[in-house]
Amino acid sequence: MSFRGTQINPDRFHPSQIKFYVILLPVLTVMVLPLIYILNHAFKPYDELFAFPPRFFVQRPTLNNFQLLFNMVSNSGVPFSRYLFNSIVVTVLVLIFSILISTAAAYAFEMLDFKLKNLLYKFNMISLSFVAIAFAIPRYIIITGLGISDSMFAHIIPFLAAPVGIFLIRQYMKSVPKELVDAAKIDGASDYQVFWRIVVPLVKPAMATMGILSFQAVWTYSESSELYVDKESLRTLPYFINTITAATGNVVAAQGIQAAASLIMFLPMLILFVVLQSRVINTMSHSGIK
């Protein structure tokens, strides 16, 4: 297809696309530079970490920062693998249940009729206007009241309710033809069957987007380890990274160790987004978010 001589989505390079590359390549360069810096920073030796003026690219790559990281945690009471294991378990459980709860809630708000439906959804939308710190005290009261402090549930429960996820999935769910749902119910399908066999397969892009948002939130969250958990063996990797400087007692050594640990934290988010980015774009195009 063409528009005024411009080839849109051509099978091969076309000269008419040059003007787009002229605009997009500088933007892409600016967006990629932080990723390149994080990768280079983790492999810098001490003299390059504190060089002035700062060096963007590493000149003498070394694995010493990673060796110091693993040596430090091996000499501590809790191994690095324990922090990593806790983070993986918490993240996986949060992803599964938060996506399931958000999708089920979105289905109820969009496809079902019940009392107080509009009022409850308004409460969901109002909650989007509050910053996270506003919920700190109520969250602490709820967690201690439930008796789940100093347990893995203290990491998981706060993330199960996701108003943003409910909003995104419901907006995407509006594109599901109501006639398809009505036809399934006429054929005798229950709400449970309609939800799992018809709606869920059609809203997988929105669920993938919700997964990325949940992963980013919980994977980098350290406050639960600081506020609700006293046992070191139940704390997560973000907490450990935030306490590296205090644990080493050496600001210089801590910079290299923290750079290596930050790269380990960053890579899973980058990989997940690269794998699911096409579904994210599809969700945004159907959710009214530009």
pLDDT at 189 (0 to 100): 84
Q: Which of 4-18, 41-55, 56-70, 116-130 has the highest mean pLDDT?
A: 116-130
Structure tokens at 209: 């987007």
pLDDT at 138 (0 to 100): 86
Tens-digit pLDDT profile for residues 14-28: 677 777 788 888 888
CA distance 60 to 46: 10
Residues 6+ apart with CB under 8 A from 167: 124, 125, 128
Is residue 238 within 8 Å of 155, Cβ to Cβ?
no
pTM for this model (two decimals): 0.77
CA distance 244 to 146: 31
Structure tokens at 263: 């790269």
Which amino acid type is present at position 276?
L
Is residue 16 within 8 Å of 6, Cβ to Cβ?
yes
Tens-digit pLDDT profile for residues 221-233: 888 888 888 888 8
Picking from 234, 236, 264, 266, the residue whose alpha carbon sits closest to that of residue 88 is 236
Tens-digit pLDDT profile for residues 74-101: 666 777 788 888 999 999 999 999 999 9
CA 65 to chain centre: 26
CA atoms 274, 276, 279, 285: torsion sign: negative
- Could you tell me the domains of the chain? 1-32 (no CATH), 79-286 (1.10.3720.10)
Tens-digit pLDDT profile for residues 175-225: 888 888 888 888 888 888 888 888 888 888 888 888 888 888 888 888 888
Picking from 158, 175, 129, the residue whose alpha carbon sits closest to that of residue 221 is 158
Tens-digit pLDDT profile for residues 235-247: 888 888 877 766 6
Which position has the token pair 């994977």? 219
Which position has the token pair 């290299």? 256
Q: How confident is the model at residue 68 (pLDDT cuts 50, 70, 90)?
A: confident
DSSP assignment of 168-200: HHHHHHTTS-HHHHHHHHHTT--HHHHIIIIIH
Average pLDDT over residues 52-62: 82
